[in-house]
Structure 1
Amino acid sequence: MSSPLRILMTPQAAAQTASGLPTALGERAHVLVNLGDDADVAFVSRDVTGLSTKHEVLPHTQAFHDAMRHAPSLRWVHAHSAGADRPVYGELRARGVEVTTSSGANAGVVVQTALAGVLMLARQFPQLLAAQHARTWSPLMGSGLPRDLAGQTAVVVGWGPIGQGLGALLAALGLRVVSVRGSEAPAAVPAHESVSYEQLHTVLPKADWLLLACPLSDRTRGLIDSAALAHMPAGARLVNVSRGEVIDEPALIDALRSGALAGAYLDVFAHEPLPADSPLWSLPNVIVTPHSAGHSDGNEARVAAIFLDNLRRWVRNQPLVNRVA
């Protein structure tokens, strides 16, 4: 008989998954272990991360990360996030631990937020909100009318659940969508045109909108540098809901200050929290949000469902979904 599967998770995560554990585990016995105990499996739920970022880790998050580092029998970790670029996941993978993510759980929410960023920039909301705060009646007729979105071109970097969802909505608004993808294989949801990350420069000259929804990897780190920004046409705008390190942030600030880039909606940054002295906070053509594009009250249930599905697969020796390669 197999020994009980030792699962490391918080009490909150245990409550979220309690009703589904029996079905996922089948006849396999299990025990929930505490920080400091050895574990076979760990579920890194949203409450573990809390307000920690990958750059500034708070004590309760550090304690959970250290518990995983010091669990010699750990073989699989499931993360609540869509990405696995926090240092602890790299360390665990280096010692042979499987890591899976919750990619797709918050995709619909991120798509809505990114689209809101597009619409706010397109309709010049930064300018209108500044006028509101100044109690100034400033109709757009006096400062240049916004361009129609229909007929513009959106280059979407990353063609996973977020990129595909965003591309579909942009196409419905009449934009021409170009996808920039990590794979050369045909996409399940095609765009008007598709190129690889390495061919991004060939489509940037027609990018009225550059929307970043890609994972952080060796291929995407620093992908949007000064040369890439210089390829974009005058009046172009940028939306980043991927990772801050995809962009050369000083080059982005220069392009926004000079007007080479007309505006940006940014939810992610090279260092998080965004330092108080960053120029991005006060640039008049920038909307800043604190890495919250994917936050929604329905995410926890969707993440728990992905974990339970993978747990079912794990105990049956079946391939895991959203496995980090």
Structure 2
Amino acid sequence: MSFMPMTIYIHFPLQDAERELLTQALQSGDSSDTNQCLWGQDLAPEKRRDAFLQAEVVFGNPPAGWWLESRNLRWVQLYSAGFDPYLALDWEQPELQHVTVTNLRGFFGQPVAETAVAGIMALYRKIDELARLQAERRWVGGELRPQMNLLYRKRVLVLGAGAIGETIMKILRGFDCHVTLVRRSQAPTVEDLNELLPEADLLIAALPDTEETRNTLSGQRLALMKPSAIVVNVGRGSAIDEPALIDALQTSRLAGAVLDVTLQEPLPTDSPLWSMTNVILTQHTGGGYADENADKVRVFLRNLDRYRAGEPLENVVDFSRGY
């Protein structure tokens, strides 16, 4: 099938193999239909905006300030699941009425779920402490054995029933855990948290950053949890009252935390979280894996085929919900 050529701007740095994958796929069968592909990584920073303004299709997360200036833009495929930088845009503006935005909703379910479970296991089985002891060449294993815990049959609350929450539930069922998914519009919901929190051994937040989700885990709600509980956040840092969490961890009102995300990123060097031995910080790496960028390219190419054919795109962002 022959398609009309288009200008595509790639605002996403790629390695050679990933770039070749994209370049080959962008070439249609007829050389007269060859797309013009503008690569941000090949341009000086001051030239990238001009390239963006030429494009009908964009792959990547360009600055929000550019969007209202474009008269050519029709579709943006984000390389993230999060839409946070663009929430402040006025989507009723005429310049944005004809722009479709798609994200990577669901893309990170497996790696993020594995990071969450790995962090929990590190705390329960003292893997982080044993790694420190290994670096110090200290053998104190016998003393640690009584302090270790099991994931087996724990009671788990998962906030967020998207791909991450569903995958976490699937993994934890292998440990015979009792898992409750807290959903947006199906019981149990956030309104039920106050009754659910006192019984939870593990609380796992996998929430996007929206007005509705910010500060879901307030200091008052964290205070409802038992001292042996662990809090895990693999969604967005805004979901948790971070100062209240730090205070609860410092005063042993919570046993520990696994944080892939924090309120400010990078985490400031003076944050107490860096030095707390009951905290695992995974530095927003939860979605990472060796073929991550190549798979993002494949998602874009699948949606590009749909765009060329005039078919509905996958993972269109709902601006009213922010994801």
Post-superposition shift, 1:141? 4.5
Q: How does 1:75-224 map to 2 (within 5 A)?
A: 75-87=74-86, 90-91=88-89, 93=91, 95-96=96-97, 97-139=99-141, 141=143, 144-184=146-186, 195-224=188-217
Change beyond 3 A, Cα 1:42–1:250: same
RMSD of aligned Cα (Å) = 2.9
Match of 2:23 in 1: 18
Separation in 2 of the partners of 1:169 and 1:9?
Answer: 35
Q: Secondary structure at the match of 1:74?
A: coil
5+ unaligned residues in a row in structure 1: which ranges?
49-60, 185-193
2:221 partner SS:
helix
Are residue 43 (structure 1) and residue 36 (structure 2) matched? no
- Listed as ranges, the matches of 1:227-238 within 5 Å are 227-238=220-231
* Superposed displacement of residue 219, structure 1: 1.6
Letter in 2 for 1:98: T
Report the counterpart of residue 5 of structure 1 in structure 2.
6
Contact 2:3 2:28 in 1 (8 A): no
* CA deviations over 1:142-173 (Å, ceiling 9, x no partner): 67332332221111111111111111111111
1:55 aligns with none
24 and 183 in structure 1: CA distance in 2 versus 1, 3 angstrom threshold: farther
Q: Relative contact order: is structure 1 or structure 2 higher (C-alpha 8 Å, sep ≥ 6)?
A: 1
Q: Report the equivalent of 1:58.
A: none
Worse-matched range after superposition: 168-177 or 304-313: 304-313
SS of 2:80's equivalent? coil
Distance of 2:225 and 2:219 partners within structure 1: 10
**Does residue 1:302 correspond to 2:318, yes or no?**
no
Deviation string, structure 1 residues 191-250 (Cα, Å, up to 9, x no partner): xxx512332222111110011112221221111110110111220001111111111110
- Aligned partners of 2:28 and 2:34 also within 8 Å: no
Question: Which secondary structure does the structure 2 equivalent of 1:280 belong to?
Answer: helix
**TM-score calculated relative to the size of structure 1:** 0.82
Aligned in 2, Cα 1:320/1:183: closer, same or farther, shift over 3 Å?
Answer: farther
Q: CA deviation at 1:77?
A: 0.9
Letter in 1 for 2:26: L
Cα gap change, 1:101 to 1:147, in 2 (>3 Å): same
The question of whether the paired residues in 2 share the 8 Å contact of 1:24 and 1:308 is answered with no
Distance 2:20 2:148 in 1: 49
1:24, 1:138 → 2: CA distance? 66
- Between the aligned partners of 2:237 and 2:19, the Cα distance in structure 1 is 32
Call closer, same or farther: CA 1:142–1:29 in 2, change over 3 Å: closer
